[in-house]
A and B are shown apart, each in its own frame.
Chain A
Amino acid sequence: MDKLYKFKSLYNSRALLPLLLLLVWEGAARTGVLPPRILAAPSAVLGTFVSLLRSGELPIALAASLTRVAIGLALGVSVGTALALAAGLSRRGETLVDPLMHILRTLPFLGLVPLFIVWFGIGEAPKIGLIALGAAFPTYLNLFAGIRNVDPKLVEAAESFGLSRIGLILHVVLPGAAPSFLAGLRHALAYSLLSLVVAEQINASSGLGYLINTARDFLRTDVIVVCLLVYAGLGLASDYLVRRLEARILAWRPSLLERAA
């Protein structure tokens, strides 16, 4: 009875197909249908993950990659925020900044890699630059839209209650734009991770990309898969972080209040 129930719940579970795929993959690898130079078995990937962790290679590479993302993200989000504030809070700023940003955002930023290499060489600068660029645009676009969409009735009311211009910005405009800013931050994180993956293909001498490049030269598909999974893990972790941030900053939102209740 109990067994049957467990079997049934697995059959109905959302994990069914992924688990099945994993089994087929493992089976194909064990029987030799899928040779390790094409794709390593899940069990081999797990083993490699553990050994890379123990040897310290993975933590060191991860730290190098995370440092890149952190610096690039900090730069990109700062610049995007500064430009959005300049354009969002003054008409003059908008005429000055907004058209340029809309022209630039049509450029596929990952396509700028060759130019970045010409300009910055193959060191850390082009990688961080690419990550910053990827983060700056979603930050700018979302925050600018957020500032402009603050309810004018709230602004009018706050003005009638004697708030100064600075007070208006601090108490009404910025909190009102916070949900958009966080949506932008979520995109910025996603883009910066994407930029990281691409940037680390540029002759990296450290980081996850370096691990992948060396693994490629030795046909170590297990290492490549481990690194890909770590990239995926970074994506999940960044999403989780933004969620936590939203729960803190947007605690006043009706949707979040319902969830807490």
Chain B
Amino acid sequence: MTMALDIAGAFPVPRRPAPNAPAPAVRLRGLSRSFGETAVLRDLDLDIAPGEFVVLLGRSGSGKTTLLRTLAALDTAPAGQVSIPAARAVVFQEPRLLPWKRVWRNAVLGLPRAGRAEADAALAEVDLSHRADAWPSTLSGGEAQRAALARALLRRPQLLLLDEPFGALDALTRLKMQELVLSLWRRHRPALLLVTHDVDEAVALADRVLVLEEGRIAVEEIIDLPRPRPRSGAFEAVRRRLLAALGVAE
């Protein structure tokens, strides 16, 4: 187990998939993006396997959000080869619920065939059934993000993108949300990309952690520890390596 960790940690280069591996859910080749003179992403390659939990770390300005927006097809002008699944869903930093629609209607927004029953099922999964008829402005921060998760789940995504969704939550709610995301990911098995700047969060959740630096993937850590992950020696070792990659010495 630690072997896998050490080996992966030593190679800060994207893995080449095994010849008989299934087609990746996400495949980026030579992705570049610049805003004006500033290059945000430089010739970036990335594969995400179906059902893989990838966490993207990086200092602010490293291009995390731009990469996520590319994977969500929200960025209209990236250069390079981008192949992403059709069924995608994003949970943004802010819940971005429409304040004039009740929670359950927000959940099924843009899904003409989904009705109350589907909304209720998804809200039950995020433990928010009791708030189905509430206005979004009456939700707490954690509840609003759970509603956003339910909305994302209803798209049956093959690729679920989470852009620092717990950033604004208090520590306790944050931990509960991490558990929730993990259990939802286990049940639905989408390829998942979580953007965060919290190293502990990354180590607790990810199959693979990527550190983005100056528009490239500078470090890649495969974490082969069983979940839930207590703070063992292996946990600490990965954590320290990632912190070092981010330029923080402990």
Contact = CB atoms under 8 A, between A and B. Distances in A.
Of A159, A175, A252, most buried by chain B (CB within 10 Å of CB) is: A252
B101 interface: yes
Contact of A176 (B90, B100, B111): B100
B90 A160 contact: yes
A257 B98 contact: no
Interface string B85-118: 0001110101010111100000001110000000
A93 interface: no
A131 B88 CA distance: 51
A182 interface: no
B168 to A, nearest CB: 14
A158 B92 CA distance: 12
B67 to A, nearest CB: 15
A163 B110 contact: yes
B100 A158 contact: no
B74 A171 contact: no
B100 A178 contact: yes
B101 A153 contact: no
B155 A252 contact: no
B98 A153 contact: no
A254 B139 CA distance: 11
Interface string A130-161: 00000000000000000000000110111111
Given A253-B137, A254-B137, A162 B111 contact: yes
B72 interface: yes
Interface string B29-57: 00000000000000000000000000000
A172 B109 CA distance: 10
A158 B155 contact: no
Interface string B123-158: 000000000000111100000000000010001000
Interface in A169-183: 171-172, 175-176, 178
Contact of B99 (A161, A163, A252): A252
Given A171-B101, A252-B135, A153 B110 contact: no
A158 B108 CA distance: 11
A250 B100 CA distance: 7
Contacts of B74: 156, 159-160
A49 to B, nearest CB: 43
A176 to B, nearest CB: 7
A178 B110 CA distance: 20
Contacts of B138: 254, 257
A121 interface: no
A163 B108 CA distance: 11
Contacts, number: 56
Given A153-B94, A252-B137, A253-B137, A158 B110 contact: yes
A153 B96 contact: yes
Nearest to A156: B74
A35 interface: no
Contact of B155 (A159, A161, A172, A254): A161
Given A153-B96, A154-B96, A163 B109 contact: yes
A162 B110 CA distance: 6
Nearest to A151: B96
A251 B133 CA distance: 13
Contact of B90 (A157, A167, A171, A178): A157
B109 A161 contact: yes
Contacts of A253: 99, 137
B132 to A, nearest CB: 15
A246 to B, nearest CB: 13
Contacts of B88: 160
A151 B155 CA distance: 23
B110 A161 contact: yes
Nearest to A261: B138
Of A160, A163, A171, A175, most buried by chain B (CB within 10 Å of CB) is: A160
Interface of B: 72-74, 88-90, 92, 94, 96, 98-101, 109-111, 135-138, 151, 155
22 contacts: A153-B94, A153-B96, A156-B96, A157-B92, A158-B98, A158-B110, A160-B72, A160-B73, A160-B74, A160-B89, A160-B90, A161-B109, A161-B151, A162-B111, A167-B110, A175-B98, A252-B99, A252-B135, A252-B136, A252-B137, A253-B99, A254-B138
Given A153-B96, A160-B88, 11 more contacts: A153-B94, A154-B98, A160-B72, A160-B74, A161-B155, A162-B111, A162-B155, A163-B109, A163-B110, A252-B101, A257-B138
